[in-house]
């Protein structure tokens, strides 16, 4: 039975990934310091025999060294995950995301872990012209968060050159799905809008709403993580998106259609650090990790709305 460490296991993606790994027969050690993660995300995991939870900060060197002992794969999801939060508080983001990643990678290589899969982000591309975004483009991180994710993937790749360890970085494009936190100033757009519109409230769009995103349902991201770990790719960063482009205005329209409502958004000024367009080229992901998104945007949105309706 393979043993995996999932950092950020109390988070949106880390908790779903942990469930999927358990379903696949893995033993999972979940690590999280519960800064943005939630205990509710751990509820069903805690009933599973092969899951252990460790309330640990990934910057804690000695705890991380112990936790990766005997582990085959590390799925590094822990991070302070928001662009606007990083603009408000660059030091916290840099510390958790850069020092945290270095600590996780160093523990992994000392313990002879086979593969580390690290979460990067489409934000590394910035507003560089040219769509879709291809991995060969020069990154242009425009926020402390984006820069910390670029550091994450560069360090992961460097480790595969310097040490005897496989590493794959996955550039996630706007992930959404059940369990994502809809609350708070830094909530992601889909859970936030779905929750507001379910309550009959008007969502606020920053800017004209014509900015676009390649929204990616969480199951696709989980599948990419598992294939990256179990496959033979190493020393690469690949896009994990859905291969589409939806504007924020269109997103509001889609949620209205699913809910049978006609709610008009409010428009406010654009936020610093937000990129204009984002759209993933998936050729490299197909070649390197045999990735193919299985759940398209529309189905993912319907499943997400249904989750929030019943939450
Ligand atoms: P999330 O906030 O739900 O999960 C991140 C988890 O990391 C949280 O549970 C948090 O408590 C934990 N964490 C933060 N700092 C920590 C530390 N120092 N020690 C231990 N745990 C710590 O966010 P998410 O959406 O699940 O994001 C997971 C990963 O995916 C992150 O690395 C994020 O940068 C990346 N990512 C997410 C998206 C997206 O759209 N959700 C897009 C691109 C990249």
Of residues 102, 77, 103, the one with CA closest to residue 4: 77
Q: Are 169 and 153 in contact (CB under 8 A)?
A: yes
Q: Per-residue pLDDT for 31 more than 90?
A: yes
Of residues 181, 175, 286, the one with CA closest to residue 220: 175
Q: Write the residue with the smallest CA distance to atom 6 of ligand 1.
A: 8
Closest ligand 1 atom to 122 CA = 43
Q: Per residue in 65-101, pLDDT tens?
A: 999 999 999 999 999 999 999 999 999 999 999 999 9
Query: Using a 6 Å cutoff on CB, does residue 166 contact ligand 1?
Result: no
Which domains, from first to last, does the chain contain?
3-175+218-242+280-294 (3.40.50.720)
Q: What is the pLDDT of residue 160?
A: 98
Q: Per residue in 201-244, pLDDT tens?
A: 999 999 999 999 999 999 999 999 999 999 999 999 999 999 99
Query: Using a 6 Å cutoff on CB, does residue 86 contact ligand 1?
Result: no
Centroid of ligand 1 to alpha carbon of 77 (angstroms): 5
Centroid of ligand 1 to alpha carbon of 10 (angstroms): 9
Separation CA 40–CA 86 (nearest Å): 25
**C-alpha 282: how far from chain center:** 17
Q: What is the pLDDT of residue 53?
A: 98
Confidence of residue 1 (pLDDT cuts 50, 70, 90): confident
Other C-beta atoms lying within 10 Å of the C-beta of residue 119: 30
Alpha carbon of 224 to those of 1, 8, 83, 292: distances in Å? Answer: 20, 17, 23, 8
Q: Quote the tokens at residue 124.
A: 């590394």
Confidence of residue 144 (pLDDT cuts 50, 70, 90): very high
Q: Per-residue pLDDT for 139 more than 80?
A: yes
**Assessment of whether the complete model's pTM goes beyond 0.95:** yes
What percent of the chain stands above pLDDT 70?
100
Centroid of ligand 1 to alpha carbon of 145 (angstroms): 11
Q: Are 40 and 52 in contact (CB under 8 A)?
A: no
Best residue for ligand 1 mutational test, from 5, 6, 11, 143 (most atoms within 8 Å of Cβ): 11
CA atoms within 13 A on the CB side of 67: 31
């Amino acid at each position: 039975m393979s043993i995996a460490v999932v950092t950020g296991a109390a988070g949106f993606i880390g908790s779903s990934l942990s469930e999927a790994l358990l379903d696949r027969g893995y033993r999972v050690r979940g690590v999280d310091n519960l800064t943005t993660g939630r205990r509710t995300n751990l509820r069903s995991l805690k009933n599973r025999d092969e899951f252990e939870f460790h309330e640990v900060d990934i910057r804690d060197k000695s705890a991380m060294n112990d936790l990766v002992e005997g582990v085959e794969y590390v799925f590094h999801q822990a991070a302070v995950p928001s662009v606007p939060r990083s603009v408000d508080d660059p030091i916290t983001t840099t510390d958790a995301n850069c020092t945290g990643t270095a600590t996780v990678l160093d523990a992994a290589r000392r313990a002879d872990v086979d593969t580390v899969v690290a979460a990067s982000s489409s934000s590394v591309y910035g507003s560089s012209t040219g769509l879709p975004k291809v991995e060969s483009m020069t990154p242009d991180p425009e926020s402390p968060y984006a820069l910390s994710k670029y550091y994450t993937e560069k360090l992961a790749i460097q480790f595969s050159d310097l040490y005897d360890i496989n590493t794959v970085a996955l550039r996630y494009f706007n992930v959404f799905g059940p369990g994502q936190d809809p609350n708070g100033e830094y909530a992601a757009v889909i859970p936030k809008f779905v929750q507001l519109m379910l309550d009959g409230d008007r969502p606020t769009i920053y800017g004209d709403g014509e900015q676009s995103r390649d929204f990616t349902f969480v199951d696709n991201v989980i599948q990419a993580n598992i294939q990256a770990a179990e496959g033979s790719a190493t020393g690469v960063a690949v896009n994990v998106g859905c291969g589409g482009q939806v504007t924020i205005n269109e997103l509001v329209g889609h949620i209205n259609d699913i809910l049978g409502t006609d709610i008009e958004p409010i428009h406010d000024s654009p936020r610093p650090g937000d990129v204009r367009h984002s759209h993933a080229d998936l050729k490299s992901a197909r070649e390197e990790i045999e990735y193919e998104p299985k759940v398209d945007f529309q189905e993912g949105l319907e499943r997400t709305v249904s989750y929030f309706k019943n939450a």
